[in-house]
Every structure is written in C-alpha cells, then in structure tokens.
Copies of this chain bind each other. A is one copy, B any other.
Amino acid sequence: MTTDTTENETPAAVSAEELTQLIERVETIEEEIKGAQDDRKDVYAEAKARGYDVKAMRKIVAIRKLTREQFQEESAVLETYLSAMGLA
C-alpha cells in the first residue's frame, strides 16, 4: 500500500535515457530562470536610463512582496479557522 506523496516508485529500473531526459528538463528550466533574471536586470537598467532610482525600486518591490505574504498569512489563518469550523 503506497501512501506515497507523488507517484509510484520503480526503484532500480534506472534507464540512462530517462535519466538524461530528466536532467535536460532541469537544465531547460534553469535556462528559463537565467533568462528571466536577465530580463529583470534589463528592466532595472531601462528604469535607470529613464532616471529612476534603482535601489529605491528594489526596496518597493521587496515591500510589496512582504505585504503580499502578509495577506497570504492572513488567509492561511482564515483557512485554519474555516477548517476548524468544518467549513473548509
């Protein structure tokens, strides 16, 4: 009986082909990450060229992120309450 979180497990049937596929998927994703990071860099560079204070902008982004997380915190509490009341 598998109380497995993900899928089913087929331990030692290690296929070199399948492994390669998985690794390449990871690498593709990491390229995406790198690309997006560069995009962000470009946006900041553009902002700077337009005369904005990049350092201040970074702070704004950080603050808004914290704010969003706070709301999430709140809704998590809400969910807990709803769940405790059998209304989840």
Q: Which A positions have Cβ atoms within 8 angstroms of B?
A: 4-14, 18-19, 22-23, 25-27, 29-30, 32-33, 36-37, 39-40, 43-53, 55-57, 59-67, 69-70, 73-74, 76-77, 80-81, 84
Interface centre among A4, A12, A22, A55 (most CB of B within 10 A): A22
Q: By the criterion CB–CB under 8 Å, are A36 and B39 in contact? A: no
Q: By the criterion CB–CB under 8 Å, are A10 and B80 in contact? A: no
How many subunits of this chain does the assembly comprise? 4
Within the complex, the shortest CB–CB distance from A12 to chain B, in Å, comes to 6
What is the CA–CA distance of A20 and B61 in the complex, to the nearest angstrom? 10
Q: By the criterion CB–CB under 8 Å, are A80 and B56 in contact? A: yes
CB-defined contacts of A44 to chain B, threshold 8 Å: 26
